[in-house]
């Protein structure tokens, strides 16, 4: 299992490097594909989609694609209108197919668009900012860096359970170690790439702050994904990534950190 997980992790990092460094359409269409797969995993869990593609799930996928099209052509002023349109279409399916679907399924379908597609799109949006080719890596640095640091500190010093019912293995000490570790990684990263940044000011402090806040939010994302799985009595969202599970299992924290890093970059950089 460890070898399988390691190989999958290496492949995942290689794909991330190739798509994010390239940026542009390559990153855009990769994120769109990842979003649709993640939505499919969530829809299977929440019974929006079961053995075959359902009209409700199709409406959700089309809503996500519409959002991405508006984003790609830089008509961001209309992205909210796109989401409202998607909700109207979902409600229309609900009404005209009644009583095939329950209201909970409709809400889950719309939730999937926002939770997966919209939030992951902020990786692309961050990549397009000033210094975005450097800034975008903070999303993964604070997410996966926090996870690694929290695991190591928790194993060595963890005594107080952070969320005993939801994730018994996570500790307060590990959480603190994860946030501090991520902030340190952000500072080190800024020191390495500082000479290539266009932004002025103390970027070492700024990157450390962004990573620290992002790490804190990433833990919420991780626990939120775990809560959904526990509510539906599943271990993993899928089996796409050997040793890791599905897209949502690997990107659960990234989903939360991507919009937060984008927002902090807009405010601080």
Examine the domain organization and report whether 205 and 261 are in the same domain: yes
Give the model's pLDDT for residue 31.
96
Domain C-terminal end among 87, 112, 128: 128
Residue 171 falls inside a structural domain: yes
Instruction: Report if residue 121 sits inside a domain.
Output: yes
Examine the domain organization and report whether 116 and 148 are in the same domain: no
- The whole-model pTM stands at 0.93
Handedness of CA 69, 72, 73, 79 (dihedral sign): positive
pLDDT, one tens digit per residue, over 105-139 is 999 999 999 999 999 999 999 999 989 999 999 99
Q: Are residues 67 and 95 in the same domain?
A: yes
Please report whether residue 55 resides in a domain: yes
One domain for residues 99 and 211:
no
**Residues 76-114: tens digit of each pLDDT:** 778 899 999 999 999 999 999 999 999 999 999 999 999
In this structure, is residue 174 part of a structural domain? yes
Q: Looking at residues 217-238, what average pLDDT do you find?
A: 91
Say if 18 falls within a structural domain.
Answer: no
Long-range contacts of residues 170-177, Cβ cutoff 8 Å, at least 24 apart: 170/219, 170/223, 174/150, 175/150, 175/219, 177/149, 177/150, 177/152, 177/153
Q: Are residues 264 and 214 in the same domain?
A: yes
Distance CA(66)–CA(68), nearest Å, equals: 5
- CA 135 from centroid of its chain's CA atoms: 16
- Token readout for 239 is 């089996």
Summarize the confidence of residues 46-64 as an average pLDDT.
Answer: 94
Q: Are residues 96 and 140 in the same domain?
A: no
DSSP 246: S
Domain count of the chain? 2
In which band, very low, low, confident or very high, does the pLDDT at 175 lie, cut at 50, 70 and 90? Answer: very high
Answer yes or no: is 17 within a domain.
Answer: no
C-alpha–C-alpha distance, residues 84 and 90, integer Å: 10
- Pair (98, 160) in one structural domain: no
Q: Which of 21-25, 134-138, 245-249 has the lowest mean pLDDT?
A: 245-249
For residue 197, give the DSSP letter.
-
pLDDT at residue 254 in the model: 94
Q: Is residue 241 domain-shared with residue 135, that is, in the same domain?
A: yes
Q: Which residues constitute the domain of residue 35?
A: 23-128
Q: Mean pLDDT, to the nearest integer, of 238-259?
A: 88
- Kindly provide the b/e burial profile for residues 68-87, where b requires at least 16 CB atoms within 10 angstroms of the residue's own CB: bebbeeeeeeebeebbebbb
17, burial (CB in 10 Å: exposed 0-12, middle 13-18, buried 19+): exposed
pLDDT tens column, 180-215:
999 999 999 999 998 889 887 889 999 999 999 999
162 and 238 share one domain: yes
- The answer to whether the beta carbons of residues 59 and 80 sit under 8 Å apart is no
Q: Are residues 109 and 161 in the same domain?
A: no
Residue 17 sits at φ, ψ, to 5 deg, of: -60, -50
> Which of these, 126, 158, 150, lies nearest to 23 by C-alpha position?
126
Q: What is the pLDDT of residue 202?
A: 87
> What's the mean pLDDT in 18-28?
94
Element at 108 (helix H, strand E) = helix 103-112
Query: Does the residue 14 lie in any domain?
Result: no
pLDDT of 7 above 80: no
Q: Which of 64, 99, 128 is the last residue of a domain?
A: 128
In this structure, are 193 and 264 located in the same domain? yes
Q: Is the pLDDT of residue 15 over 90?
A: no
Query: Which position has the higher pLDDT, 37 or 148?
Result: 37
What value does the mean pLDDT take over residues 253-261? Answer: 95
| CA 45 to each of CA 41, 96, 119, 127, 200: distance values in angstroms, whole numbers, following the listed order | 6, 24, 19, 31, 46
* Residue range 162-178: mean pLDDT, rounded: 87
Of the candidate ranges 6-20, 21-35, 102-116, 221-235, the one whose mean pLDDT is the lowest: 6-20
Q: What's the pLDDT at 119?
A: 97
* Residue after which a domain boundary falls, among 128, 145, 171: 128
Range of lowest pLDDT (19-28, 32-41, 144-153): 144-153
Selection from 51, 82, 81, 58 nearest residue 68 by Cα: 82
So what's the pLDDT on residue 5?
A: 67
Q: How far apart are CA 125 and CA 31, in angstroms?
A: 11
Give the pLDDT of residue 200.
Answer: 79
CA-to-CA distance for 55 and 200, rounded, in angstroms?
Answer: 50
What is residue 1's predicted lDDT score, i.e. its pLDDT? 57
Whether 52 and 71 share a structural domain = yes
Q: Would 53 be classed as within a structural domain? A: yes
Report percent pLDDT > 90 for the chain. Answer: 70
Average pLDDT (67-80) is 88
Band (pLDDT 50/70/90 cuts) for residue 151 is: confident
């Amino acid at each position: 299992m460890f070898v399988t997980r390691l190989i999958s992790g290496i492949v995942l990092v290689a794909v991330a490097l190739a798509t994010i460094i390239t940026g542009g359409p390559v990153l855009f269409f990769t994120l769109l594909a990842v979003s649709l797969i993640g939505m499919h995993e969530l829809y299977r869990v929440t019974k929006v989609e079961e053995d075959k593609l359902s009209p409700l799930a199709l409406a959700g996928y089309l809503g996500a694609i519409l959002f991405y099209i508006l984003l790609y052509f830089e008509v961001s002023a209309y992205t909210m209108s796109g989401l409202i349109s998607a909700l109207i279409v979902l409600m229309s399916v609900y009404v005209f197919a009644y009583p095939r679907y329950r209201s909970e399924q409709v809400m889950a379908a719309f939730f999937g668009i926002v939770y997966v597609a919209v939030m992951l799109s902020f990786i692309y949006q961050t990549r397009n900012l000033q210094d975005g080719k450097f800034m975008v890596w903070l999303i993964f640095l604070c997410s996966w860096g926090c996870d690694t640091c929290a695991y190591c500190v928790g194993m060595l010093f963890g005594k107080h359970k952070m969320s005993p019912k939801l994730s018994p293995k996570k500790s307060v000490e590990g959480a603190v170690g994860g946030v501090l570790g991520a902030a340190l990684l952000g500072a080190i990263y800024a020191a390495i790439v500082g000479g290539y940044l266009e932004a002025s000011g103390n970027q070492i402090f700024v990157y450390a702050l962004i990573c620290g806040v992002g790490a804190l939010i990433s833990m919420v994302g991780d626990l939120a994904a775990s809560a959904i799985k526990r509510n539906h009595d599943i271990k993993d969202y899928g089996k796409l990534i050997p040793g890791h599970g599905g897209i949502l299992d690997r990107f659960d924290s990234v989903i939360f950190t991507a919009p937060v890093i984008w927002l902090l970059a807009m405010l601080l950089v």
